[in-house]
Amino acid sequence: MRYGWMLATCLGWAMAVPTGVDAEPVKVTIDGARRAAPVTKYEYGMFIEPIGGLVARTLWAEMLDDRKFYYPVVPAALDAPPPLNAEGRPGVSYRKWRPIGGDDAVIMDSKAAYVGVQSPRVALDGTIRKGFSQSGIGLAKGKRYDGYVLLSGDASAQVEVALVWGPGTDDRQTIALPSPGADWKRAAFSFTPAADAADARLEITGLGSGSFRVGAVSLMPSDNVRGWRADSTAIARSLNSGMWRLPGGNFLSNWDWHGALGPRDKRAPMFDHAWSAMQPNDIGMDEWMDLTKILGVEPYVTVDAGLGDANSAAEEVEYLNGPATSVWGARRAANGHPEPYGVKFWNIGNEPYGWWQIGKTSLDYFMIKHNAFAAAMRAVDPTITLIGSGAMPDQLHPREAQENASLESIAPKFGTEQDWTGGLLAKAWGNFDGISEHWYDRPEKRPNAPADAELMEYARSPSNQVRMKAEEWKIYEQRFPAMKDKKVFLSIDEYAYFGEVNLKSALAYALVLQEMLRHTDFLTMGAFTTGASTMDITSTDATLNSTGAVFKFYGEHFGAGVVPIAISGNAPQPEPKYPVGYDHPKVLAGSPTYPLDVIAGLSPDGKTLRIGVVNATFTEQSLNLDLKSLAVRGAGRRWILTGASLEAANKVGTPAGVTVTSSAYRPGSRLVVGPISATVFEFPVAAGDR
């Protein structure tokens, strides 16, 4: 055993609040002999699903809504209200096509539609320009935009397409299209606007005689990467996520993946009843797989176990993983992808226990489904890793119930209908390799709390969701000892702390990630909701937001291969003094180093010790290090994630408010961390302790 040593750095914080450097430092013991399983590259994964326009407005490059005319082209007064979704809320509204040249200028032709059930037809009379337009389009000055229209009609029709970015006669660019004919033809065009615009519009109009029809329209920035936005995908790639879980989500339970194969223009649009939203079906499994290649991550595919069946899931496995000589592998090859995608991770169903789910079932019935899915999917590819859709008792309660679950309150639920994770272990053993769990928390104000206590309890709240899952996992390991032998793992593949996106929420996410890193022996996968939520995205630009900054920060310093080391201390985390709301598990996450939260780990090569410290207080704090079975030598560095205030945020068009700075450190008597910050220290490890 080697003697530990202590370090200090002066961070130079100038704040009109008392500092903690004169108070007794928190004692932190780091035991190099007690090491956990290395962090996997899947720990910082992302989840995504097309919730209405979520993907279409963030990652996908298409700029037009309803480009295949699911809705009729009518004046706004004739729009039908969006239907309610499964939770009784109004569905998603879209930018609509509007007639030009009279309310009745456009007729929806259902007899010879190009795709779906209808295509717009415009009858011309030679004196009035007629057609339709869509507004609300964002443009960047000087940027090129490429598009096309699928056109048919009479040769006497003189059809034009125009991009309009302002009220002046010169604030537009107009392109004459080739004369239409009886057959559908693709007519391409390109625009370069002379000014920025937030409410530009695309017009498709005609003069002359006869009529013209439009089957589909597209407009994308010319720098798109095979249909995906260049800016937001580049930022997403910088997160080094390891994997993305896709394509859903609630959406998945009523989406037939077969309908999104082949040429995008010929895929009929569909209505997503889970979110009460129209989807053009432009993003199918080939596009999702292409996205994961662009991002440099592995795909984690969830199959539809809502309205879907085991045969459909098996066909999906064959389409993505089967050889080109197989039935569905041949379909994939015909669609331009001869080589199998080799998807490793597969999830059977999404939240099938939820009353909000399409295809919601009882536990016993879903176990029958799960087992049938597993058998069919493994018959196609026995090498896949199957993940069952679990839900622990803290998550499941009657729809109207309000509960802050404790280990004591949920004890009677184990082995009942409110224990889907236990149901998998008892009734589907051997038919899964891991179990998924989801959690969502909502930020709540604590009006009676002083500012420091309000911040601390706000920041700690979501990490308790992770700790509760970890505590329940221990109970399952006691009830089902074979879990350890089989190395059944936990995947928290949906989670989020809804609400603010600023430094305050960033501190909460830092605590979440540190809590996840305490349980790498079984918690090997995570997927944040959503990958697009790590960015601030407009129609023309994108930047990493404060949440994304946290994921990038920890992914860089505590990423794949880092070996977590045990932490102990002299200051246990206390019970909250100002509890509010419900659905907040009554456990105490964090290290025994209150008011700080501390983790430590060895780099993959064993040459450096990394220490992560979250200080969710307004006061500079200090800690003394006691290293056991470990020694460090030489100079090191320090990285600090922070901002000027809790409201600091990263927004497009403004300087970043939440930033990471790096500097050398100098040895001293104690380690000091600034207020409202997450800090990582890195020290070289003595050769004998690697």
Same domain membership, residue 574 and residue 543? no
What pLDDT is attached to residue 2?
Answer: 30
Q: What is the mean pLDDT of residues 105-128?
A: 95
Tell me if 630 is assigned to some domain.
yes
Query: Domain total for the chain?
Result: 3
Q: Which of 478, 480, 467 is nearest to 405 (CA)?
A: 467
Residue 198 pLDDT class (50, 70, 90 cuts): very high
Neighbours of 593 (CB within 10 A): 24
Show Cβ contacts of residue 652 under 8 Å, excluding neighbours closer than 6 positions. 536, 537, 538, 541, 542, 543
Q: What is the mean pLDDT of residues 193-215?
A: 97
Q: Residue 667: pLDDT above 90?
A: no
Same domain membership, residue 571 and residue 556? no
What pLDDT is attached to residue 653?
Answer: 95
What pLDDT is attached to residue 11?
Answer: 27
Check: CB of residue 108 under 8 Å from CB of residue 73.
yes
Domain span at residue 147 reads 76-81+94-221
What pLDDT is attached to residue 670?
Answer: 82
The tokens for 672 are: 């000091």
Same domain membership, residue 231 and residue 255? yes
Report the C-alpha gap between 279 and 271 in whole angstroms.
6
Report the C-alpha gap between 505 and 458 in whole angstroms.
8
Tell me if 4 is assigned to some domain.
no
Q: Which of 527, 507, 521, 434 is nearest to 474 (CA)?
A: 521
Same domain membership, residue 231 and residue 190? no
Report the C-alpha gap between 29 and 568 in whole angstroms.
5
Check: CB of residue 457 under 8 Å from CB of residue 451.
no
Q: Residue 668: pLDDT above 90?
A: no
What pLDDT is attached to residue 20?
Answer: 45
Check: CB of residue 30 under 8 Å from CB of residue 2.
no
Q: What is the mean pLDDT of residues 136-145?
A: 97
Q: What is the mean pLDDT of residues 235-243?
A: 95
What is the percent of the chain with per-residue pLDDT over 70, rounded to a whole number? Answer: 95
Residue 22 pLDDT class (50, 70, 90 cuts): low
Residue type for 610, please? R
Same domain membership, residue 613 and residue 557? no
Tell me if 1 is assigned to some domain.
no
Q: What's 677's domain CATH number?
A: 2.60.40.1180
Tell me if 314 is assigned to some domain.
yes
Q: Which of 170, 150, 153 is nearest to 161 (CA)?
A: 150
Report the C-alpha gap between 282 and 413 in whole angstroms.
43
Task: Tell me the pLDDT of the chain averaged across its residues.
Answer: 93
From the number of C-beta atoms within 10 Å of its C-beta (0-12, 13-18, 19+), residue 196 rates as middle
What pLDDT is attached to residue 295?
Answer: 98
Task: Choose the weakest-confidence range: 1-5, 270-274, 292-296, 589-593.
Answer: 1-5
Q: What's 108's domain CATH number?
A: 2.60.120.260
Q: Tell me the CA end-to-end span of the chain in Å, nearest whole number.
A: 13
Which of 171, 200, 221 terminates a domain? The answer is 221
Which of 546, 566, 586 terminates a domain? The answer is 566
Task: Choose the weakest-confidence range: 68-82, 392-406, 554-568.
Answer: 392-406
Same domain membership, residue 521 and residue 405? yes
596-634 burial by CB neighbour count: b if 16+ within 10 A, else e? bbbbbbbbeeeebbbbbbbbbbbbbbbbbbbbbebbbee
Residue 492 pLDDT class (50, 70, 90 cuts): very high
Tell me if 70 is assigned to some domain.
no
Show Cβ contacts of residue 259 under 8 Å, excluding neighbours closer than 6 positions. 267, 268, 270, 281, 284
Report the C-alpha gap between 608 and 628 in whole angstroms.
15
What pLDDT is attached to residue 403?
Answer: 87
Q: What is the mean pLDDT of residues 631-658?
A: 94
Q: What is the mean pLDDT of residues 395-416?
A: 90
Q: What's 374's domain CATH number?
A: 3.20.20.80
Tell me if 16 is assigned to some domain.
no
Report the C-alpha gap between 536 and 651 in whole angstroms.
6
Q: Which of 295, 161, 162 is nearest to 229 (CA)?
A: 295
Of residues 344 and 686, more confidently modeled: 344
Residue 82 pLDDT class (50, 70, 90 cuts): confident
Q: Which spans in 337-481 are helix H?
A: 363-380, 407-410, 420-427, 451-479
Same domain membership, residue 332 and residue 418? yes
Q: What is the mean pLDDT of residues 420-436?
A: 98
Same domain membership, residue 561 and residue 571? no
Same domain membership, residue 582 and residue 494? no
Same domain membership, residue 236 and residue 202? no
Show Cβ contacts of residue 639 under 8 Å, excluding neighbours closer than 6 positions. 553, 557, 660, 661, 662, 679, 680, 682
Residue 257 pLDDT class (50, 70, 90 cuts): very high
What pLDDT is attached to residue 12?
Answer: 28
What pLDDT is attached to residue 399?
Answer: 78
- By DSSP bridging, strand 98-100 and strand 542-544 are unpaired
Same domain membership, residue 324 and residue 277? yes
At residue 89's C-alpha, the angle toward residues 88 and 92, to 5°, is: 135
Report the C-alpha gap between 680 and 678 in whole angstroms.
7
Kind and range of the H or E element at 48?
none
Q: Residue 7: pLDDT above 60?
A: no
Report the C-alpha gap between 653 and 543 in whole angstroms.
9
Report the C-alpha gap between 569 and 484 in whole angstroms.
28
Which of 566, 599, 615 terminates a domain? The answer is 566
Q: Distances in Å between the alpha carbon of 411 and those of 65, 304, 414, 466?
A: 49, 31, 6, 18
Q: Distances in Å between the alpha carbon of 283 and those of 221, 262, 331, 388, 527?
A: 17, 11, 17, 25, 20
- By DSSP bridging, strand 677-684 and strand 637-642 are antiparallel
Q: DSSP label at 447?
A: T
Residue 313 pLDDT class (50, 70, 90 cuts): very high
Residue 526 pLDDT class (50, 70, 90 cuts): very high
Same domain membership, residue 626 and residue 501? no
What pLDDT is attached to residue 1?
Answer: 31
What pLDDT is attached to residue 73?
Answer: 97
What pLDDT is attached to residue 3?
Answer: 29
Q: Residue 58: pLDDT above 80?
A: yes
Tell me if 450 is assigned to some domain.
yes
- By DSSP bridging, strand 270-272 and strand 145-153 are unpaired
Q: What is the mean pLDDT of residues 501-517?
A: 98
Tell me if 597 is assigned to some domain.
yes
pLDDT, tens digit (0-9, with 9 covering 90-100), for 336-384 = 999 999 999 999 999 999 988 999 999 999 999 999 999 999 999 999 9
Neighbours of 364 (CB within 10 A): 10
Q: DSSP label at 632?
A: B
Residue 49 dihedral angles phi and psi, to the nearest 5°: -155, 155
